[in-house]
Amino acid sequence: MTRKGVGRGVWTCAFAGALTLVASGVAAAQVHYTAQDADDAFAQLSSEVPGLRASWNFETGFPSFMFGRPIRLFGVPQNDAEYEAAARRLVDLYPGLFGFDSSALVTEQVKHIRMTQIGTTDKVSVGFTQWVGGLPVEMGNVSVLFNSDGAIVGIENNGIPNSAEVDVVPAISEAEATVLALREFAHPGAKVLGVDISVVPNQLKGAGELAWSIDLGGVWDAAKGLPLQEKIQIDAHNGGVIRRLNTIFTFTDLIGQQRQWRTPGTLPDVSYNPVQKFKYMRGYTTSAVGTTNTDAIGDWTITYSGSSNQAVTFNFSSNSTYAWVTNKAGSDYTKTITATPGVKIFDALNKYPGQYQTAQNNAQGEGVAFREWVKNLDPAETKMDFRQHLNVNINSSCNAYYDGVSTNYYRKQGSCNNTAYSTVVAHETGHWANDKFSSGNGYDGFGEGSADTWGMYIYDNPIVGEDFFTSGGDIRTGLNTRQYCGSCGAACYGEVHADGEVLMGALWKVRDYLNITLGDAAGDSVIDNLFLDWYQGYNASTICDTNETQILTLDDDNGNIADGTPHSADIELGFEAQGYPGNY
């Protein structure tokens, strides 16, 4: 029994002799699944659905993505409960494909993905997370994508096979694991930021193991101008260090309307910033009459029945709706205005702007702009409906970073401009979105490449960090020619941002080709929607051939990407320009 290539870089199975049927309806804890079981299960499903294809995870021996023909074995779901039931039935009928049955899965979402507006069919994604013994499996998830006619057209499996065999009773205590992690971190003054226990993948074993995850930080590297922060995973049975993960992701009836002086376009702070409406900013009266938030067009109202003028103070914190900004160069910027009941006033913050004030305005405005871009594509999407914390004017230069709880931006200093602007904020917020959508910010450059793509798409500009340097130099561009390394998660360029250029370059070129074919506005609409749909429908976390395949599956309108999708020619050209192997 062998695996052989079908198309370019896509794997399926060839079989000879009798087929061993897959056990179904047996609890995963009672069965140990092997790569042979996965081969047999795929053969069984392929006999029911001729032409089905799979990409295989050769570390585990199980398929990571199945696609290519519609699977119509479970009826036509009529509601969310039936979609979930059909997805679970798939897993339970073919547990050998996954290495577990559906008892290991907790339903996270049934997401309806609107795609008719870009010329293809609507989809429904059922997303599961994997659990064992009441503990989560790190990055363990399964996504089942349905077409509008109820057929299954894509199956993503990131679960750990045989996870039920993991002993979830730790032999090493939390306190012991913390001591071991601090010893490994080896930085005096380090603080414990968080402790968790879960089942984590062991790539060398192709299996899972129980681990304490200790988040450590509170240490500043003056030479790099960055905090030192890591997640150290300790084997909960023998105390060994499983892995160390860097968790700093660098960029490198009173009424009125509140406006701000804010950096225009995608350039850093300049002296001619135009006035713009200030969205979702917090205001309050000093006499405790009431509080307000400016709305999507900058308007605000405080219900008030009196007749005397009131002082209303606006700032960037105090529970602003979607963005909370902290100025690290001094006190946070505030402005107090006098409001007359019944008279709408128009006022602008930082009318004579300086670097530190404008950085606060930019951070608040660009943080909100990220959420609004998502909401404009899908008003029902809620994953970015939270208060971002943005720290600005940090006393260092030439960088920005995301640390899991905030995004952080440096002042103008040395050879670099203030980094709180447009695509830099979008990139760092993109790391946050990667976490919110459960794709994560992995080691191989996927997190950096996708964070760049959020920035490029939101601002419709291939340059990320335009004029980042005071001399006029940029950071990265989607027009790069860095090529796909040839295997999933290869990280072959030695630096995570360089590795990420493969993905962001491919996704920008897809946008370019779509714009040539459809025109700028229509092309942007197609790829913006497909990019968000990719996050909503799947949990991709590595740079891999399946990046392209999953997007094609979303774009497809009949469950068979081999006969093309509405936009497959442009999608193929974009990915192939970056060295991806293609699907035809």
DSSP string, 378-442: -TT--TT-S-EEEEEEESS-S-EEE-SS-EEEEPSBTTB--S-SHHHHHHHHHHHHHHHTT----
The pLDDT score that the predictor gives to residue 311 is 76
User: Is residue 281 very low, low, confident or very high in pLDDT (cuts 50, 70, 90)?
Assistant: very low
The pLDDT score that the predictor gives to residue 222 is 86
Distance (Å, whole) CA 299 – CA 256: 6
Q: What are phi and psi of 189, to 5 degrees?
A: 85, 0
Burial of 274 (0-12, 13-18, 19+ CB in 10 A): exposed
What's the mean pLDDT when you consider all of the chain? 86
Average pLDDT on 288-293 reads: 66
3-class secondary structure, 44 = helix
Distances 549 to 56, 197, 271, 521 between C-alpha atoms, Å: 13, 34, 46, 24
Q: pLDDT tens across 116-161, in order?
A: 999 999 999 999 999 999 999 999 999 999 999 999 999 999 999 9
**What residues have CB less than 8 Å from 127, skipping those under 6 apart?**
107, 108, 109, 110, 111, 141, 142, 143, 438, 539
Average pLDDT on 283-298 reads: 60
Fold classified for 2-165: TATA-Binding Protein (3.30.310)
| 408: pLDDT strictly greater than 70 | yes
Fold classified for 254-356: Immunoglobulin-like (2.60.40)
DSSP string, 498-566: HHHHHHHHHHHHHHHHHHHHH-HHHHHHHHHHHHHHHHHH----S--THHHHHHHHHH-SSS-GGG--T
The pLDDT score that the predictor gives to residue 423 is 96
- % of the chain residues with pLDDT over 90: 71
Largest separation between any pair of C-alpha atoms in the chain: 90
Average pLDDT on 268-287 reads: 52
- Report the first-to-last Cα separation within the chain, whole angstroms: 24
| 70: pLDDT strictly greater than 60 | yes
More confident residue, 254 or 36: 36
Distance (Å, whole) CA 457 – CA 514: 13
The pLDDT score that the predictor gives to residue 273 is 55
More confident residue, 7 or 181: 181
* CB-CB contact of 402 with 408 (8 Å): yes
> Both tokens of residue 163?
């996870």
The pLDDT score that the predictor gives to residue 296 is 59
The pLDDT score that the predictor gives to residue 255 is 40
Average pLDDT on 208-227 reads: 92
| 40: pLDDT strictly greater than 90 | yes
- % of the chain residues with pLDDT over 70: 82
Average pLDDT on 486-493 reads: 93
CA nearest to 552, candidates 543, 564, 541, 540: 564
> Both tokens of residue 441?
């910010």
Residue type, 403: D
CA nearest to 60, candidates 98, 5, 105: 98
* CB-CB contact of 113 with 62 (8 Å): no
Distance (Å, whole) CA 457 – CA 450: 10
| 39: pLDDT strictly greater than 80 | yes
Please give the DSSP secondary-structure letter assigned to residue 308.
Answer: S
Task: Give the range among 318-322, 525-529, 565-569 with minimum mean pLDDT.
Answer: 318-322
Distance (Å, whole) CA 391 – CA 369: 17
pTM for this model (two decimals): 0.84
| 536: pLDDT strictly greater than 50 | yes
Task: Give the range among 92-96, 142-146, 282-286 with minimum mean pLDDT.
Answer: 282-286
Q: How far is CA 16 from the centre of its chain?
A: 42
More confident residue, 103 or 1: 103
CA nearest to 446, candidates 414, 412, 484, 407: 484
The pLDDT score that the predictor gives to residue 8 is 25
Pairing of strands 334-339, 291-293: unpaired
| 537: pLDDT strictly greater than 70 | yes
**What residues have CB less than 8 Å from 7, skipping those under 6 apart?**
53, 581, 582, 583, 584
Residue carrying structure tokens 């990407």: 561
